[in-house]
Amino acid sequence: MEFLLAKYNYWFYILIMMVGFYAMISKNNLVKKMIGVSIFQAAIILFYVSIGAKRGATIPIIEHGHDAVHHIDPTAYINPLPHVLMLTAIVVSVSTLGVALALISKIYAKYGTIEEDEINEQLTDV
């Protein structure tokens, strides 16, 4: 029980990631696949941000006055690196989702469907 509670952030990230991964590989509809990709990305973001946590620490904005800076204790502030990485990843994931939706829109215009097996049938017929 102690072991389960000590690492609970990882259990949740694996659970969410499995949901997204399942949607990615076994859903037939391309839009549902993209929803799976988004859930997968959310799981990775949760994983990174949870790595940056430190018990008893505050957000990584250094308290300072106008005088000379005093000694800064790194354990009093959470790890800023995962936040930086995920900050850019969130915006990039939104724009790549836009590209995927545009591609799906074009696929729908060409084949009249976004079901993967129906597209495969049309491809093999020709």
Partner 1 sequence: MKLIGLIVVIATGLLLLWGVTDFPDWADPQSPASTHLSPHFLTESIEETAVPNVVTSVLGDYRGFDTMLETTVVFAAGIAVYTLLRRSRRKDLREKPEMIEEELPHQALIVKTICRLMAPFMQLYALYVIAHGHHSPGGGFQGGVILGASFILLAIGFDLKMVLKRMREKTTLVLGILGVLIFSGIGMVCVLLEKNFLDYSALSAILPATDIIMARSHGILGVEIGVALAVMANLVLIYVNLSSDGKYERGL
Is there binding between residue 118 and partner 1 (CB under 8 A)?
Answer: no
DSSP string, 30-58: HHHHHHHHHHHHHHHHHHHHHHT--TT-B
Site string for partner 1, 25-54 (x = CB under 8 A): xx-----------------------xxxxx
How far is it, in rounded angstroms, from Cα 42 to Cα 97?
Answer: 13
121 touching partner 1, by CB under 8 A: no
Site string for partner 1, 53-92 (x = CB under 8 A): xxxxx-xxxxxx----x--x-xx-x-xxxxxx--xx-xxx
Q: Is 120 in the site for partner 1 (CB under 8 A)?
A: no
Q: Could you tell me if 77 and 57 are in contact, meaning their C-beta atoms sit under 8 angstroms apart?
A: yes
